[in-house]
Chains A and B, each alone.
Chain A
Amino acid sequence: MGQNHIFLKMTYRQMVKNKVRTLVTIIGIMLSAALITAITVFIASLHKSMLDYKIKESGNWYGVIEQVDLKEGLEKIRQDSDILSERLMYNIGSTIEEQDGHQIRVKAFSDENEISLPLELTEGRMAENSKEIVVASDLITSGILADCKVGDTIEPELADTQGYTVVGLYEDAGFNVGSTSSYVVYTKYDENTKNIESADVYIRVKNPKNTFAVLKRYSDASYETGYNPGLLRLTGISVYSSYYSFITTIAVIVIVLVVGASVLLIYNSFVISLNERTKQFGLLSSVGATKAQLRKCVLSEAFLVSIAGIPLGILVGVAGIGITLFGVRASMKSIAASMVSLGEMKLYPTPAAIVAAAVVSLFTVLISTFIPMIRISRMSAIEAIRQNGDIQLSRRKVRCSKIFQKLFGVEGVISRKNFKRSGKRYRTTIFSLFVSIVMFVSESAFGKYLVLMVEENYKLGEYDIYYCSGFLADSEKEEAVIEKLKQVQGVKESSTTLSAGLFWYKADENSEYLTEEYKTERKKSENASVSYNDGKTQMFVYGIADDLYERYLQQNGLSKDTYMNAKNPVYLLYTNRRVTDTKTGKRKDYTVFANQAFTLKACFYPVAEDENEQEEKQAADIDFDIGRTVDKLPYAVQTDLRYQNDIMLCSRTMAEKLMEKTQCQQGGLITYFKTTDHMAVYEQMQKILKDNGQYFRYSLVDEAMEYESYRSIIYVVKVFSYGFLVLMSLIAMANVFNTISTNMMLRRREFAMLKSIGMTEQGFGKMLYFECLMYGSKALLYGIPVSVLISVWIAKTINNVQVLVLDIPWMAILISVLSVYFIVFVTMIYSKKKLQKLNLIGCIKEENI
């Protein structure tokens, strides 16, 4: 048996002897490895998912060399040793139509190979031969190929070329990096393809980093080249691109935190092990073990716990992140719906991620052995044998007042003196607890502010979707479209509001009706009024659908006769404002106008007959009879107008009359929808609008989804961060448990002696509990103030982005207080039970190691 084996054997058996401590250490390493693995695998999965999405979107090619001749040029590319594979997109020398000087080019896909060139079909199928084409749907909607449908035949202009049958429509050709991508139609290359002029050659290179260098060769040879930017960003060229580097930065920070906490635990474990084995090491030294051999003992322990803990931790980490991703996938979907660059996020535990996690975990364990190794180097055999270093106490005087003694008895005095003298020993324990407390409370504060921020910004109104019809000439067609939208399955309720144009009022002209608060706020800042225009304030007039308006009046106890009288129109006024004082963080709600009946002096700008008139517009005066102000609005009013804009309410009929009077042509219809499933309804509405040839991106808004996606982001962040926190806290708890329980065991002679001179079990218990109280309290004494400070700092930082009220996370503080005392007490109870089992005399007599 070699010298290494005996030390390994000794260490192994020692670890088995101290099952609990060994297990706690292994669990700590496992947790640490699990956390690190979760992070690395998450990053790998995120990267791969983004990559998958990018490839799905624009293909897996790296570069393109355009208009290559099919003889020499193509041969040169095929001979290029840097190019892994290529796929051709033939440029057919025929045009379909020339309109306004635009050429509609025809390109032909070559046979499928490993290079993907995705085409997003909206209807029909891909062309399967040279007689079939797919057409960009934009060509139809823009009118260039108006009325073109699937099944139609298109005759090209040139006499010697064939007609094409349209077999499909496409939305987007992600691989086409050229301009005016919509003016391309795609067919399929076969033996009948005529008039091939050249080919665009899409390439994959052996080393993505060489893409630009390879392409430059061809651009130097006067070819037009292009590259796949999204893919290259994600693949090696710049792995740390901007939207990716943010996440990796966070990951690195988190890993450093995890490594830090783990090192604390594992280091502590080794130190404890070392303390227990000091005499043993002394003996080994006296028998002839060199310091190098003793250091090997520590390394053996490190090796053994790593073998046990790291692989298990990696498995747990992969499983954990997999389950977490599965659990949040609904939320991720809604985030993905609003963030374009990520499709579905799948779990990808790549070898690189696993290896990275293993290496970092091992590194963590090895760092933890650093200080114990130094201690061994400094240890002399004689000190170890005498075990002088073991219970090192400071020599300073520790006074205990008589009152203290009276209150807590001699047990309390002993506890206090022990506590005050053995500072160093418990430093790491208290520090672990401190770090956990700070992290937990800060995280709770952060989470709380995140939620507040979202709620401030994205208060969901009572509707899910709205559709703006805008200023359209053909209102009949528009009403038909609106009707179709209202019929969509899943729409619970809907209402169309008529925006009757923009009006302005001067605060000075109506000053007797203004509230004092408004006057004060206006003095404070110019921003109190919205849309200042020569001292005028903007105002919207909304004509709510008659039936909804009637209901609204009824709900608010207002007379229909008064407020729905088209002949003598009386309006309702909403002027609620909300400001937040940047200094105090206090939110203030006020109204501009006091609640009363009055005549509002306003004006509007009539539309000039000639749109191109640049002259100074003359405002036309108009008076509005206001019946009263209101605080609540019907649901069919934009959410983001509330608290910021002045709104006058009336019925649809009244609004139409107003528009007649002002000759306003700037009114628009906005239809609000309440749904049972906003995502499904939105999808269907998109289809309807598309069929009507409408560009809907800004006119159809799923507000519920925006709100949901932000809530989802918070939910996901919370899940991950709390998961992380819980694991980190477990590591800290393991640390506390290890330290306190072992140190109790090391002091067993002292305890035995106390018992032998007459301390009762009760008294003994009291002494231990006092000590634990003090450790917990010290950690909390530092931890709570620091975490409160950090919470304030977080609030201030967020306040720079958006003003929020300061809100201390009291619940989190309470939880950490309870948790700290809980773990310390549990440890004490465990230690006490263990100590009670020991033979009294045996301990006192004990000189044995």
Chain B
Amino acid sequence: MDILKVENLTKIYGKGENSFKALDNVSFSVKRGQFVAIVGPSGSGKSTLLHLIGGVDRPDGGHVYVDSNDVYARNDTQLAIFRRREVGLIYQFYNLIPVLNVVENITLPVLMDGRKVDEERLEELLTVLHLKGRENHLPNQLSGGQQQRVSIGRALMNDPALLLADEPTGNLDSANSHEIMELLKLSNKKYNQTLVVITHDENIALQADRIIEISDGRITRDEVIR
């Protein structure tokens, strides 16, 4: 079943003479539980695509369907709630709230929903992410790898349908990179979460089920590996 369907997605930056097509009629689908790697040169439109899938930016043309629902049929508030509950975003730079501790950063989407935190799920995540004992630490008290793990925890907390990662290991050393990828793959396999990862790293790309290559805003290659 297609968890994600992208249809003729277009994004244009700038106006008139200075306009630039970051995405040009991109279309593809992703099945539930698939691990997709998106590769391509700098400025090819990979991040733009990810942001549009995640409901962070609005397209200039086309549609994005997540779980058969048109993402952009929603108003701003509904879109925010979509981002909160149905998507988990992980960035290259850890993007934690510096004044919140580990637990608060991880449970942020739940707290925004005004719901009670599922303590069991939290415990599980803290264990899996090797963050036990650091619950009250602030981001500036954590290493790079630890911060990225908190970021992953936050992305996973609400058990979203889609996990979107933009160069999640770009800022980490090889040991940490490996660890992070293992965690993401675990989530993909264990929770059947659909994982879309943008990467420059060929090794990471080859770990995916499917590789989509983008160049100049267009899909140039779409290969299923396994």
Q: Which residue of chain B has its CB nearest to the CB of A293?
A: B112
Q: Is A286 an interface residue (CB 8 A)?
A: yes
Report the bound CA distance from A284 to B54 in whole Å.
14
**Is A13 touching B99 in the complex (CB atoms < 8 A)?**
yes
Q: Does B133 contact A (CB under 8 A)?
A: no
**In the complex the two chains form, is B99's CB within 8 Å of A1's CB?**
no
Contact B57 A287 (CB under 8 A): no
Q: Which residue of B lies closest to A17 (CB)?
A: B99
- A6 near B98: Cβ-Cβ < 8 Å: no
| Contact of B104 with A287 in the complex, beta carbons under 8 Å | no
A1 and B114 alpha carbons, distance in the complex (Å): 7
Contact B154 A287 (CB under 8 A): yes
- Please tell me if B200 contacts chain A, counting CB pairs below 8 Å: no
**Contact residues of B between 102 and 130, Cβ < 8 Å to A:** 104, 108-109, 111-114, 117
Q: Does B63 contact A (CB under 8 A)?
A: no
**B113 near A287: Cβ-Cβ < 8 Å:** no
Q: What's the nearest-Cβ distance from chain B to residue A270, in Å?
A: 17
Query: A280-300 toward B: CB 8 Å interface, digit per residue (1/0)?
Result: 100111111111110000000
Interface range, B side: 20 to 34
Assess the B80–A285 pair: CB atoms within 8 A: yes
Within 8 A of B (CB), among A626-658: none
The answer, yes or no, to whether A721 is at the interface (CB within 8 Å) is no
A68 and B180 CA atoms in complex are apart in Å by 99
B95 touches A283 (CB 8 A): yes
User: In the complex, what residue of chain B is closest to A3 when comparing beta carbons?
Assistant: B114
- A178 at the B interface (CB under 8 A): no
A248 to B70, CA, bound (A): 60
Residue of B whose beta carbon sits closest to that of A4: B114
User: Separation in Å of the A47 CB from the closest CB of chain B?
Assistant: 48
Q: A381 at interface (Cβ–Cβ under 8 A)?
A: yes
Whether A381 touches B56, Cβ cut-off 8 Å, given contacts A286-B89, A287-B154, A292-B77, is yes
Instruction: Check A287/B108 contact, CB under 8 A, given A14-B99, A381-B57, A848-B94.
Output: yes
- Residue interface mask B82-101, A partner, CB < 8 A = 1: 11110001011111011110
Contacts of B92 in A (CB 8 A): 847
Q: Is the CB of A289 within 8 A of B99?
A: no
**Interface secondary structure of A, over-half rule:** helix
Q: Mark A347-384, 1 if CB is under 8 A from B, else 0.
A: 00000000000000000000000000000000011100
Contacts of A848 in B (CB 8 A): 93-95, 98
**A14, A283, A284, A292: most-surrounded residue (chain B CB, <10 A):** A283
The answer to whether residues A287 and B89 also contact, given A6-B112, A14-B99 and a CB cut-off of 8 A, is yes
Whether A382 and B51, one on each chain, are in contact in the complex, defined by CB atoms closer than 8 angstroms, is yes
Within the complex, what minimum Cβ distance (angstroms) separates A258 from chain B?
A: 33
Q: In the complex the two chains form, what is the Cα distance from A10 to B57 in whole Å? A: 25
- Inter-subunit contact A10/B99 (CB<8 Å): yes
A849 to B98 Cα, complex, angstroms: 7
Which residues of chain A come closer than 8 Å to B30, judged between CB atoms? none
- The answer to whether residues A288 and B80 also contact, given A3-B112, A382-B56 and a CB cut-off of 8 A, is yes
Q: Which residues of B contact A380 (CB under 8 A)?
A: 57-58
Complex formed: what's the CA distance from A290 to B83 in Å? 10
User: In the assembly, what is the distance between CA of A326 and CA of B85, in Å?
Assistant: 63
A287-B154, A290-B81, A291-B76 known; A6-B51 Cβ under 8 A: no
Instruction: Note all chain B residues with C-beta closer than 8 A to A3.
Output: 111-114
In the complex, what's the smallest C-beta–C-beta distance from A281 to chain B, in angstroms? 10
Other than the known A2-B114, A288-B109, what 19 A-B pairs have Cβ atoms closer than 8 Å?
A6-B111, A6-B112, A9-B104, A13-B99, A13-B100, A17-B99, A280-B98, A284-B108, A286-B54, A286-B56, A287-B83, A287-B109, A288-B85, A288-B113, A289-B84, A289-B112, A380-B57, A848-B95, A849-B97
Q: Which residues of A does B touch, CB under 8 Å?
A: 1-3, 5-6, 9-10, 13-14, 17, 280, 283-293, 380-382, 385, 847-849
Q: Supply 8 A–B pairs (Cβ within 8 Å), ascending by A.
A: A3-B113, A9-B100, A283-B97, A285-B80, A288-B84, A290-B80, A382-B56, A848-B98
The 3 closest A-B pairs by CB, nearest first: A288-B84, A13-B99, A3-B114
